[in-house]
Every structure is written in structure tokens, then in C-alpha cells.
A and B are shown apart, each in its own frame.
Chain A
Amino acid sequence: MYTDDQLSIRDLARNFARSEVEPEASMRDRESLFASALIHKLGEMGFMGMMVPESYGGSGQDLISYLLALEEIAYCDASLAVAMSVNNSVVCGPILSFGSEEQKKKYLPDLCSGRALGSFMLSEPNAGSDAASLQSKATRIDGGWILNGSKAWITNGAYAKYFIVMAVTNPSLGKKGISAFVVESGHKGLILAPAEKKMGLKSSNTVMVTLQDVFVPEENLLGPEGAGLQVALGGLDEGRVGIAAQALGIAQRAVDESIKYSKERTTFGKRIGDHQSISTYLAEMESKVQASRLLIYRAASKIMNHQKATLESATAKLFTTENAVWICDKAVQIHGGYGYTSDYVVERLYRDVRVTTIYEGTSEIQRIVIARELLGK
């Protein structure tokens, strides 16, 4: 079902992930260390701006290739995968779709090559999926804008050079009064809180950011004034399948680790995989992974063909992430007491996978989206 090019890209990502990403992934998790050097390498190899045309420094590849690569990175280190996903999907994507020629030339080559990392600021302490209730404000002054507000759950925050920030430019227009800006790490008034202490994805960086009278020059407005929500949500379907691919990578790893352990560990004189209770788990885990892969592939194919894919992306995200959480839970169960210790990787998978039903639209939001597609508005 994949093309020769897509498989070559998957193999390169797999080879790199297993040789370079895997060896210290558990150490980075334990120490909450951000993998700057690996991000740089991913950039050099062309994985940080995979769908950006070569003329802007990207790799010019398609969505499915990107998802395959993301899955392979997540298989070894879900924290690294999320940094890669943010840069590709919600930073490079919007700049490519909405940026002026000057903006594309200024930002994309650095973002695609790993010389600079991107970050995306939409969520606020009191606004997530209901992006229309944003409170951060941008006030027009001579030569640009002054931004004020708080942004929450900002991935890559402490390591990013460029931030895409959504702020209200005209409160009386509601959804149509939001605009997008590119804020640079050197801009004065960008205040980062200490990193959040998360359950999983510990080597990914998540911070709260306060914008305090940040002056942003006129040329940093991204897209037309008032088009902020389109900029933020334009790549929504891609974002959903991206997180599904990340969850799939984690789940596939959980399945592979469980198969390995089920062959090694013996109880009552036989391999635990030969006990019916364990073999049933393995069969269900494998079925769920295979079904998820097909759902993601179907949604991605539709997106690539420029067809409406709201229903497919939401079902792929809901089904894959919910099942990935279930699969990792069973992987820990199969490993018994050992699975509850950090000596075995399934313990990390169990913590890392948990957020996938929460971010990029919670499962509850996906169900609302799916039901709305089924019932009509």
C-alpha cells in the first residue's frame, strides 16, 4: 500500500531511530533531557520540514511519508516525535500555507534544516479546543503590534526560535477577530515559566509562556488580519493523523516488546505467550494496531487528494489513541511486576502514550466532531 519512495523514507527513519535515538531514550526520559542534538540531526536529514518544497529548504515529500517517519521516531522516543511533529505540522505547515514569500524565505530554511526549532502558541489557561475564547490580545501601534497574554502547554517552548502566536486583534469580531503572528525568541517580553512536570513525554519540553508587551513588527503578521483561526486550524486534519501516527508508533513498540517478553518469560513450565490469557491479549493488541494503521492511511490518503477528511481524521485519532492507551496498559500487564519498573521500556510507553488521547483535540472533542459529521450540524 505504500510507494517505493515512502518505504525508503520509512526505512531511513527506522534505521536512524533504532541506531541513534533508541540508545539514550530512557536516560533522556529519566533525566528530562531535551534531545537538541538529535533534532539537529533530524533536520540535516530532512525530517524537520518534510512536506515543505525543496525550494524553501524542505524535503518535498508527502503526508504519508511524514507519518511513516513520525511513527518510526515515536517507536523509539515519543518525546522526540512530538518535537518533530510540532515543527513539521503546526509551524512549517502554517508558514507554508499562509506566509508571504518573504516570510517563507526567512523562516522555512532554518526550520527545515534543524538550525531553528519552531513552536506553536494557541492554547491558553482557559482556552484549548474552544479556540474562539482566546484572551491574548494584540494591539496595533506604529510599525507593528503589542502582544499581551498567557499561553499554556507550549511544546518546544524553551528551545524554539520561532513561535506562531494566535492573539485577538479585534474583540468585537469574535472568531474573525483573531490573528496569527510569528514571534521570535529574541523579542522582548517573552517570559517562559519553568518546564511542566509531566507524567510522560518527559524529554519533550512543555512550558507556559507569558507575553508581556511583546512588540512584533508589522511584517510578522502571518496571513491576513483576522485569519488567525484559519492559520491555527488549517492543518487540523493533518495534526490529528500526526498524533495518531505518534500513538501508533508507541503502540507498535508495546506490541513488539510484549511478543518478545512472552517468548522469553516462562511460568508453570511454559512460555507465558502459550498461556491462553496472554495469547489473547497479543492477538487483540496486534489487531488494534493493524486497524489503526489502515485508518491513518485512509485519512492521510484523503487529505493528500485534497478531499474533505474531517470524519476520517477524527476517527483515526480517536480509535488509534484510545487503543494505543489500551495496548500499552496490556503490555505492562504482560510484563507483570517488571513492567511496573523503569527497567523495561513498556513503563515509559505507558506514561508516554497517555497524553495522546488528550492533546491535539481530546477524545471527547473527536467524538463531538465525529457525531457532528454523522448527524449534520
Chain B
Amino acid sequence: MKILVALKQVPDTETKIKIHPEGTALDLSDVKWVTSPYDEYALEEAMRLKESQGATVSALAVGDDRVKDVLRNALALGADEALHVSTSEKCEDPFVVATYVANAVRDRGFDLLLFGNKGSGGDHAAVGPMVAELLGIAQANVVVKLTLDQGRFFAERQVESGLEVVEGKLPAVITTQKGLNDPRYPNLKGIMAAKKKEIISIPLTESISPALQTMKLAFPPPRAEGRQLAGTPQEQAQALLAALQNEAKIF
């Protein structure tokens, strides 16, 4: 079985986000870059399938040379090969990324294509489903349990207040959600071995201009200051009740 894991590099979730003065992009100067947490579930699932039923695992990332770090990390965790779709400009438009991914993997014979269900930060939740459409194959998204059997997949999807169980034919795109597994850390041997492995560069066959344009980035408005209720405990309770009824309209 051949498994593809598509990886996105995102700012560490603990990074204090700053907006570039121009207002349409993030200030990336102090950003620590990591593999998107949702993609870690995809990578872990690939490793578990490799260990339990045998598979070769290919990691893929789209972007400039900086994204090679997430590929190295995937190699350290046990991926067999790393594919780098090399682009010079930023790819924020999910359709552009999906097209590049679909073109890169179309003729490589993958049975299973794993994506995080969304990239942390952008939260488009679009690239995986788009790749499935572009390749004309089945997809199951936001998956928290995955079983493969005789060329078919059985997936449990997290949906509003419940689970949906779906099955379909491989090859397929599966996008992964928290709860699917508990991602491992690489070990020292893996990290050292990964340094010696080659990252395969895949040139772009077509360049597409993005249809999506970021107009403005802004922080949520700061929370309004609280106010202290005066008076006796009884008066305070009355005032609180009135505020909850008339202002917050909770009751």
C-alpha cells in the first residue's frame, strides 16, 4: 500500500501573532514554524498503518525551502520519502495548493491520501476535499477512526453532536481530526537518519494565480472593561440579575 501524507507548515500555536503593518499579512519575523497539529494525526495514522499492515509512506509539502523542515520531521518519524513541491511565492489560496498537490500525486499511485482536516491558523478545511475532487476519488473528512480492509475504507466522522460512519473505495482522501490517535515524538535515531535522506523536489507543471485575496487582517476587538456592582450583597444580587436579564438577555 502507498500512503501520501500532505503537510502544512504553520506558526507554532504558542506564537504570539503579529500583523504586518500593511494589514493584509502576518508579520512572520519572530515566528517559530511547526507541522500543523491536524497533520500530525495524519502522519501518525500513516505510521500506524505502516507498522500494522505494511505500507510506504510519502510526505509532501508545498512551499519555499522553509517547508523542508516539516518534511525532515516526517522523515524523522518514519516516512519513507519526502516530496517537496517547490514554489517561490506564498500559497494562501487553498485551490492553488490543492491543484499543486493533485498534479504532484496524480501519477504516483497512492492508495490513501491523508490530510489534516484543516491547517491550524488558516482554518480553510479545503485542501483535502479539493484534492479528492480534482483527482475524482472518494473522500471522508474530519475522521476520528479509520479502518482499511480489502481495498475499502471505513471511517468514523465527527459531525454535529454525533458520529457518522462512512465507507468507500480506495484510493481515497481522508482528512484527520483530533481524537484519531495520539501522535508520537520522533526519536534521536530517526532525527539523525532523516538528515541523511534526500528530499525529492517536484517542479510545478503549471503555475496558477490565486483567486483568493486577503483584504484585511485584524485582531478581535479588546474585551470591554468589567464593572463592579456596588451596594449591599442583596443590592448587588438584584443589580446582577437585572443586568443578566436586560443587558445580557440570558433570561
- State whether these chains interact: yes
A118 at the interface (CB under 8 A from B): no
CB distance from B43 to the nearest CB of A (A): 15
The answer on a CB contact under 8 Å between B185 and A5 is no
Nearest B residue to A5 via CB reads B192
B209 at the interface (CB under 8 A from A): no
A44 contact set on B, CB distance < 8 A = 184, 187
The answer on a CB contact under 8 Å between A9 and B185 is no
CB distance from A37 to the nearest CB of B (A): 12
B192 contact set on A, CB distance < 8 A = 5, 60
CA distance A366 to B186 in the complex (A): 38
The answer on a CB contact under 8 Å between A12 and B186 is yes
A12 contact set on B, CB distance < 8 A = 185-186, 188, 191
B188 contact set on A, CB distance < 8 A = 9, 12, 45-47, 50, 59, 61
CA distance A20 to B195 in the complex (A): 25
B249 at the interface (CB under 8 A from A): no
Nearest B residue to A18 via CB reads B14
CB distance from A12 to the nearest CB of B (A): 6
* CB under 8 Å from chain B, chain A span 1-55: 4-5, 8-9, 12, 15-16, 20, 41, 44-47, 50, 54
The answer on a CB contact under 8 Å between B195 and A46 is no
A4 contact set on B, CB distance < 8 A = 195
B189 at the interface (CB under 8 A from A): yes
Q: Bin chain B's interface residue count.
A: under 10
CA distance A15 to B186 in the complex (A): 11
The answer on a CB contact under 8 Å between B185 and A8 is no
CA distance A9 to B191 in the complex (A): 8
CB distance from B54 to the nearest CB of A (A): 22
B185 contact set on A, CB distance < 8 A = 12, 15-16, 20, 41, 45
Nearest B residue to A61 via CB reads B188
* Residue from the set A20, A46, A50 with the largest chain B CB neighbour count within 10 Å: A46
CB distance from B226 to the nearest CB of A (A): 19
CA distance A5 to B184 in the complex (A): 20
Nearest B residue to A19 via CB reads B185
B187 contact set on A, CB distance < 8 A = 44-46, 59
A60 contact set on B, CB distance < 8 A = 192
B191 contact set on A, CB distance < 8 A = 8-9, 12
* CB under 8 Å from chain A, chain B span 178-201: 184-189, 191-192, 195
CA distance A9 to B76 in the complex (A): 12
CA distance A47 to B188 in the complex (A): 8
B184 contact set on A, CB distance < 8 A = 44
CA distance A4 to B187 in the complex (A): 16
Nearest A residue to B186 via CB reads A12
Nearest B residue to A41 via CB reads B185
CA distance A281 to B61 in the complex (A): 46
A8 contact set on B, CB distance < 8 A = 191, 195
Nearest B residue to A15 via CB reads B185
Nearest A residue to B194 via CB reads A8
Nearest B residue to A43 via CB reads B187
CA distance A286 to B140 in the complex (A): 52
* Residue from the set B185, B186, B188, B192 with the largest chain A CB neighbour count within 10 Å: B188
CA distance A59 to B192 in the complex (A): 9
A5 contact set on B, CB distance < 8 A = 192, 195
CB distance from B181 to the nearest CB of A (A): 16
The answer on a CB contact under 8 Å between B189 and A54 is yes
Write the B212-249 contact mask toward A (1 if CB under 8 angstroms, else 0): 00000000000000000000000000000000000000
A46 contact set on B, CB distance < 8 A = 187-189
Among candidates A20, A41, A45, A54, residue contacting B186 with C-beta atoms closer than 8 Å: A45
Residue contacts A-B, CB under 8 angstroms, 11 given: A5-B192, A8-B191, A9-B188, A9-B191, A12-B185, A45-B187, A46-B188, A46-B189, A59-B187, A59-B189, A61-B188
Instruction: Across the A-B interface, give the 7 residue pairs with the lowest CB-CB distance, nearest first.
Output: A46-B188, A59-B188, A46-B187, A45-B187, A8-B191, A45-B185, A16-B185
- What 9 new A-B contacts, CB under 8 Å, besides A5-B195, A59-B188, A60-B192? A4-B195, A8-B195, A9-B188, A20-B185, A44-B187, A45-B188, A46-B188, A50-B188, A59-B189
